[in-house]
Chain A
Amino acid sequence: MATIFQRTSVLTDKPFHYCPGCGHGIVHRMVAEVIDELGIREISTGVAPVGCAVFAYNYFDIDMYEAAHGRAPALATGYKRVHPDHVIFTYQGDGDLASIGTAEIVHAAHRGEKITTIFINNAIYGMTGGQMAPTTLVGQKTTTSPLGRDKDHCGEPIRMAEMLATISGSAFIARCALNNTPNLIKTKQAIKKAFETQIARKGFSMVEILSPCPTNWGKSPAEAMDWIQDAMIPYYPLGVMKEV
């Protein structure tokens, strides 16, 4: 019998620790498949964040770093300057990238750092237990906005892809979502494009991915996918924001 699909060898055999319905496992597989398909495994290194993907170094079967909260782009910069012909990606959540690590991501883009960032936007702090993120939608209830996010009190959610697309050093910026099959296909295409952008040394590349967090959203996995479509996508439009 012909094998028409198999697990990529760029992932280890360790079972993911993620909750049922979480998007991290899907994105991990896509990133690993892209590394496999581009034939860059032996020169690829990843940087795990502080957040739900903190153990990503257990899953990607390549050299890996674990960064302090928000610092992954600075760390990747240090690595890339030592090994300019290698490929490095950071894998970051919205607290890590859009809050505590805002300076690092903006300046990595600003320098045109030849790195790739996979940015998981699930509108909440997952690992620490569902606190408000910079990306939390107005009215969305979290453990630190129990009555719903009030924009007069703490502002409106930050759109990182649009912001980074305005910076001259960024070469490929896209926003994708995991809520249905067409969007999954586009997400993997964007991840591949981001890595190709780095390999071609065009500049900074990032894919922001709207990803479900059923546990902290208080929804079933199916309801979470619907919420991405009905609540997130209207505020966070999908598409390629910048391509050089």
Chain B
Amino acid sequence: MAKKLMKGCEAIAEAAIQAGCRYFFGYPITPQNDIPEYMSLRLPQVGGCFLQAESELAAINMVYGAAGAGARVMTSSSSPGISLKQEGISTCAAAELPCVVVNMMRGGPGLGNIQASQGDYFQATKGGGHGDYHAIVYAPSSIAEAVELMPKAFDVAEDYRTPVIILADGLIGQMMEPVEMPDNPNPVMRDKPWAATGYKPGGAKPRAIINSLYIETEDLDELCRRMQARYREIEKNEQRVELYHTEGAEFILCAYGTVARVCKAAVRILEEQGVKVGLVRPITLWPFPSGAVHDAIAQDSVKAALTVEVSAGQMVEDIRLAVNGCKPVEYLGEAGSRIPEAEEIAERILAMRRA
């Protein structure tokens, strides 16, 4: 497979098509517009449908309609637009509908700015919308990894009948990198006996009711128990994490997405100075790879951990829960959209070493 240079948004869109996605509903917002733009040209070429919705609310509900009809469907947006989609994501979760939602995070809160940020970690990993639900959350740190994760995202969405979020940032969306794009003209689609495809009385397929309303206490409890049991299965089977130079390290950095790449540069700077530092990079932010994080930081060799984020400190809470007080966990970063420099991260580790 030949490598080609692609912009992140376009690579993600093409990878979705190669994974069998044939329907896209979205609304323009920077910095993810290249995804709907690409889809508007490409989907009709493969017999699919792109539709620009009148709002993010409409877009996610078109996703709901198409997912209920059995389609492989996705939407994409950026932070404020993802906030608008939350009612629909909660509804899809409760109606047990598979779909993929890409969030190219930008600076917040409010309208914020259009630079890369990581301020939507809490929203993505703790539910985001109302009620007790989770979405599976993937955080690619390169365009190649995003391309690799797209088919996985559609598959797990359908395996567990749940929304899946690709939580990237504006940098992943806007930069260009070499990727190996699979060529998969006939992706294998899963059977969906639960989908609304027409009901024949007396036929083998029961009547489809795509619904998130359970007015009787017992019925809602049954749905919630079913969803929670599924979440435990997801936690057991779907955690992904990259461990980089962690074995025998003196300090452990924790970061996801593009920030993790800056951290790798900091690891190399520190190694040149004889300081052994490793990086734990969660690839699934939910389910959070708590066991791997704990084991890396709890090693006897480790003095402390440092999480680096472009947020006021969100993932650090999950790191601290995983470590459960066995080692100190510090945080470096700030809210908004300033990405820390590798030298700054290295200096902080050196300061922690002197302390």
Contact = CB atoms under 8 A, between A and B. Distances in A.
Interface of A: 9, 41-45, 47, 54-55, 57, 61-68, 71, 74-83, 86, 103-104, 106-107, 110
A65 B198 contact: no
A66 B25 contact: no
* Centre residue among A55, A82, A86 by max chain B CB count within 10 A: A82
B213 interface: yes
Interface in B40-93: 49, 51, 53-55, 57-59, 61-71, 73, 87-88, 91
Nearest to A84: B49
A18 to B, nearest CB: 15
Contacts of B91: 68
B184 interface: no
Contacts of B63: 78
Contacts of A67: 61, 64
B23 A65 contact: no
B69 A79 contact: yes
A64 B69 CA distance: 10
Question: 8 shortest A-B CB distances, which residue pairs?
Answer: A78-B65, A78-B62, A74-B61, A75-B65, A78-B66, A107-B54, A71-B61, A82-B69
Given A63-B208, A66-B213, A81 B201 contact: no
B65 A65 contact: yes
Nearest to A40: B198
Q: Which one of A45, A47, A64, A75 has the highest number of Cβ atoms from chain B below 10 Å of its Cβ?
A: A75
B29 interface: no
Nearest to B49: A81
B64 A78 contact: yes
21 contacts: A44-B198, A62-B199, A63-B210, A65-B210, A71-B57, A74-B57, A75-B61, A77-B62, A78-B63, A78-B73, A79-B68, A79-B196, A80-B65, A82-B69, A82-B71, A83-B198, A103-B55, A103-B58, A104-B58, A107-B54, A107-B58
B51 A81 contact: yes
Nearest to B211: A66
A63 B200 contact: no
A104 B200 CA distance: 30
B61 A57 contact: no
Nearest to B207: A63
Contacts of B88: 68, 71
A137 to B, nearest CB: 29
A9 B54 CA distance: 37
Contacts of B73: 78
A71 B58 contact: yes
- Taking each of B66, B196, B212, B215, which has the highest tally of chain A beta carbons within 10 Å of its own beta carbon? B196
B1 interface: no
Q: Secondary structure of the A side of the interface?
A: helix
Contacts of A41: 199, 201
Given A62-B199, A63-B199, A82-B70, A74 B210 contact: no
B54 A103 contact: yes
A76 B65 contact: yes
A78 B25 contact: yes
A89 B66 CA distance: 15
Most central of B68, B87, B88 by chain A CB within 10 Å: B68
A65 B196 contact: yes
Contact of B201 (A61, A66, A76, A110): A61
B123 interface: no
Given A57-B211, A103-B55, A75 B64 contact: yes
Nearest to A58: B209
A123 to B, nearest CB: 25
Given A57-B209, A62-B199, A63-B197, A81 B53 contact: no
Given A42-B198, A77-B51, A78-B69, 5 more contacts: A43-B198, A62-B207, A65-B209, A78-B61, A79-B66
A103 B54 CA distance: 7
Given A42-B199, A104-B54, A81 B66 contact: yes
Residue among A68, A86, A104 with most chain B CB within 10 A: A68
Contacts of A103: 54-55, 57-58
Contacts of B57: 71, 74, 103-104
Contact of B198 (A71, A75, A77, A86): A86
Interface in B191-221: 196-201, 207-213, 215
Contacts of A74: 53, 57-59, 61-62, 64-65
A106 B212 CA distance: 25
A83 B199 CA distance: 13
B65 A77 contact: yes
A104 B95 CA distance: 21
